[in-house]
A and B are shown apart, each in its own frame.
Chain A
Amino acid sequence: MKPIVTADDVSRQVKTPDGELSILDGITLTVMPGDAVAITGPSGSGKSTLLALLAGLEDPTSGLVHLLGKELGILNQDEKAALRAGNVGFVFQTFHLLAGLSAIENVEIALELAGYDNTRPAAADLLDRVGLTDRVNHYPSQLSGGEQQRVALARAFVVNPKVLFADEPTGNLDAASSGLIADLFFDLRQQFGSALLLVTHDASLADRCDRILTLGVGGRLQS
């Protein structure tokens, strides 16, 4: 079985007025299909940067990242986008729904970008599974935070992704909503069998993953 995601001695530095600052330093990891990996660490340890590098949203300063067997460093932006379409799902802390589209259209657009036709039934089905049957035509501004995150979950899972990148999926929600979303999130992951890379501060969420990677100050992997 081939790994879904690998990082090989990946580092990331940024320039600051005081010189170069190391965000990540020599990260090496492997994620196999179906694995659930939590990335934790204190604020500023570079965990979200690591997630962005692994998903091909950012480029490392050095080191190699492979996603679905492809080396990201040699792909241009369009090739990375094509690789993500239909294979990768995202769940963001601040939802990032498209304000001009209704709930179902937000889900459909992921299917369309993945090359599917007749997107409506699948999108409606996913919204039904996240409990938003009555809210399909609502716009993001007409939905609560928890409901918006459910739409985001439907959008992420509707393409049956091989890997899911989640960045603090419950970070913007109250405690009650947070628990419900977390349950829904892990249930769906189990149903779809996607690999998961989850950035979180929440120990209870991290505990629900197969492995926990902890980043320390300076972006070094501690465990």
Chain B
Amino acid sequence: MLLFRRDWREAGLPAIALALVVAVLAVTSVGIFNERVWEAMQSRAAQSLGGDLVLQAHDPIASRVVDQAKILGLELSQQVEFPSMILTAAGSPRLVSVKAVDEKYPLRGTAEVAEQPYGQGSAAGKIPATGESWAHSRLFAEAQFDTGDIVQLGEKSFKVSHALITEPDDFGSFFRMAAPRIMIRLSDLSATGLITPSSRVHYRIQLAGTRDSLNAFSKWLDRQDFGGLERRSVQDAQPSVRTALERASNFLGLASLSVVIVAGAGIFIAARFYARRQSTTAAVMRCLGASQRRILRIFIFRLVRVALTASLVGGFLGYAGQSFLSVLAEEKLGLSLAPPSLWPLLTGILIGLITALGFGLAPLLKLPTVSVLGILRGEEGVPPPSMWLTIGLAVFTSGGLIFWQADETVLTLWVMGLTVCLVAGLTFGGWMILWLVTQIRGSRPTTRYVMSSVGGRRGMGVIQILAFGLGITALLMVTVMRTQLMEGWMNSLPSDTPNRFLMNIQPDQRASLMKFFAEENLTTPGLYSMTRGRWVGHNGKPVEPQSFATLQAQRFAAREFNLSPSDDLPQTNRIVSGTWWTAGQNDEHLLSLEREFAQTLGVGIGDEMTFRVAGVDLTGRVSNLREVAWDSFEVNFFVITTPAFLVDRPGMLITSFFLPAENTDTTIRLINQFPSVTLFDVDSLMQQVRQIIQQASVAVQYVFIFTLLAGIAVLTAAVQASATERSRDAAVLRALGASTQRLWLTQFFEFALLGAVAGLLAATSAVATASILATEVFGFTLSPGWWVWGLGCIGGALGIGVAGTAALRPVVSRAPLKSLISD
């Protein structure tokens, strides 16, 4: 602390320390906050699995697995699922999907039941009572029974007590679940006598717990050899929830890294100021015989010492600060946040050190080579650091930090590329505008003083514009993200987004179904034909599911797909590689694959894939890869084919439509008129996606506060860096008779001019960056209004003008007139 106090008295180091404290404070707070909110969001997403992790096997899961989960403190719920037949007094036998659950089911989310089929669901809060069952609404019509009736399942009778409206964990499989569900207690299962060694049964365990426990359990599982045991985590959950989570993560990651970049700009300015002020010390050291290496070592050591102290202070402040934010988040989002871990604190401190060296090292490197003669002549200063070295170090550091923070290669590359363009644009644009300012002639000398102070010190002016520009860009980016990007995302899920899926529609039902939709005033994006097929060949070789490395790939390779023929690319899909087929190619056998699906299976453009459809092998060539907006709630397919590929193959139709909540009778009329179709309600799933968007929106607003803090740190550093010169100028003007008001106005206009230029350039940068990110990363088009430029320019002028003038208050109000005199 003694050493820090000594460093604190060194001109320039306090500015570095302050910038670092803010940077680490921001990074740590955002890091911990992100981690806690992310975990809470993950926890909500886990509702679509019924737990944080799900294990599934065709044979009873080994007791060792259960024991290990208990040792690690994980919660468990066990279920058994299998197809069977039910008998009712009135109807004929019906195929059902039986699910026997224990009392802890579900660990995440809740099942919803209603008194009547397709009724308004309410949280069950329990499982079926002994001897009772809950049946899917569709089954009531198919098997002709009502609540309170008795159904026979194997050797045991069950009273149907409720209609099962939703299960928290059925989303991952609802497209494959051909038979309607009937749910009973696990303890009633043995009495049915339905489970025999030859039964086709899925044994399932849902697990929930802390991230550490889950990670430890997964690692333990990796080391074991449980053949046939499938694992599903949140990452494998329903694509719509996963996509929403990934987008939320991108939003928060992007917002938090903007804080790092802005803080880095502040550190660079402060370090440059420090180096300038230390030039005399370095020159004296050289005169006294210190080697260049030794001088450099001394100054780097000082920088590291200050960085470490400031990072520790910032880290602990951030750790304390995030709890305030978390309380707000808990209140506003209704999230129950897990306790914070120490990892973000350590990360924050490490980021502080890296940021200090990455942004602060370049200016110091010139100190050992300072001109002794120049310094002895009274010329303060060191040569400016090499531009390439500065940019190289800054880009390398920000790139590394961005990657660390965002953990997203594509995002990192985009942001790094955009940052380089941003820095180059701000530097070049700033230089040009300041040059133009110096060309303005004929105004009054004090106005000229403002103009020429900005333009005459062009080097410093450009650095300040760069720093302010980065700060304003980050602020505008977060503002655009808060409004336009969020709005764009929300708009991608309008209030009339389809909330019902209708499957198993026979081709001959098309006309009557469309008539029904017209009568009921329902709109649908369209009916899609789909044919089930199994992937059996890849480039002429047979497909063997067990040969794939990942479980997900094995699952994909082993199951049947819905193949859908189409002339046109679906609206919510985007080609990312290859080209969509032209009208002339409709007769060819071409395939279009979802990008991640293709990557998982190791299939690329030009590959041949063979599918077995109703006993016939059909081969097609992959012509393009698509990115699918799974969270659009439109009907989407992993594999789309040209119409010719599936011509004359048996298929069914699928559609989606929006059903207003009050139209419960419509569902009953639909099921009565088309009893063979399968209806799925995805309202609660959509609700989850909407909640994730709202949570991300709130979190980004908090990140905005830190970006603002980092911006203030930059401003402080920039003001401190030029305070000596400004202070001397103020003293000269004061000695010549300038009033306080004139001094204030002079400072204000100088900063306002810098702010306006920086704001103008920053608005352009923010709009370009946000537009590219919206298109390339988030997958929708952004059309920002002119307000961004207005806000950037006016906000920059007023913000920087007022804040800069306020920061220089001591300089102006106590202009050190005595300093003009020697002695």
Contacts and interface: CB of A to CB of B under 8 A. Distances in A.
15 contacts: A43-B823, A48-B823, A85-B736, A98-B449, A100-B457, A101-B445, A101-B448, A105-B449, A109-B446, A109-B449, A109-B736, A112-B444, A112-B445, A113-B738, A167-B822
B443 to A, nearest CB: 10
Interface stretch (B188-196, B407-415, B813-821): B813-821
From B444, B453, B821, name the one whose CB has the most chain A CB atoms within 10 angstroms.
B821
B553 interface: no
A93 to B, nearest CB: 5
B452 to A, nearest CB: 4
B448 A113 contact: no
B76 to A, nearest CB: 71
Nearest to B814: A77
Nearest to A107: B445
Contact of B821 (A43, A77, A92, A105): A92
Given A46-B823, A113-B446, 7 more contacts: A57-B821, A78-B739, A81-B734, A82-B739, A92-B821, A98-B732, A171-B822
Nearest to A115: B737
A77 B734 contact: yes
A49 B819 CA distance: 10
A101 B452 CA distance: 6
Contacts of B74: none
B725 interface: yes
Leading 3 A-B pairs by shortest Cβ distance: A85-B737, A100-B456, A57-B817
A94 B819 CA distance: 11
Nearest to A51: B821
A96 B820 contact: yes
Interface in A118-144: 119, 139
A110 to B, nearest CB: 5
B735 A105 contact: no
A97 to B, nearest CB: 8
A57 B820 contact: yes
Contacts of A83: 737
Interface in A61-119: 77-78, 81-86, 88, 90, 92-94, 96-102, 105, 108-114, 119
Nearest to A106: B445
B733 interface: yes
Given A52-B821, A168-B822, A81 B728 contact: no
Contacts of A57: 735, 817-818, 820-821
Interface in B738-795: 738-742
A97 B456 CA distance: 13
B487 interface: no
Given A109-B445, A113-B733, A101 B821 contact: no
A167 B822 CA distance: 7
A49 B820 CA distance: 11
A114 B742 CA distance: 13
Interface of B: 444-446, 448-449, 452-457, 725, 728-729, 731-742, 817-818, 820-823
B822 A113 contact: no
A156 B88 CA distance: 111
Nearest to B822: A93
A111 B444 CA distance: 11
Contacts of B738: 81, 85, 113
A61 to B, nearest CB: 14
A207 interface: no
B449 A113 contact: no
Nearest to B740: A78
A80 to B, nearest CB: 9
B122 to A, nearest CB: 73
A90 B735 contact: yes
A81 B823 contact: no
B821 A167 contact: yes
A113 B733 CA distance: 8
Contacts of B455: 100
Contacts of A113: 446, 733, 736-738, 742
A77 B740 contact: yes
A58 interface: yes
Contacts of A46: 823
B818 A58 contact: yes
From A49, A85, A92, A113, name the one whose CB has the most chain B CB atoms within 10 angstroms.
A113
Contacts of B736: 84-85, 90, 109-110, 113, 155
From B456, B817, B822, name the one whose CB has the most chain A CB atoms within 10 angstroms.
B822
A92 B449 contact: no
A48 B817 CA distance: 12
A169 B705 CA distance: 52
A49 B733 CA distance: 19
A81 B456 CA distance: 26
A150 interface: no
Contacts of B741: 78
A47 interface: yes
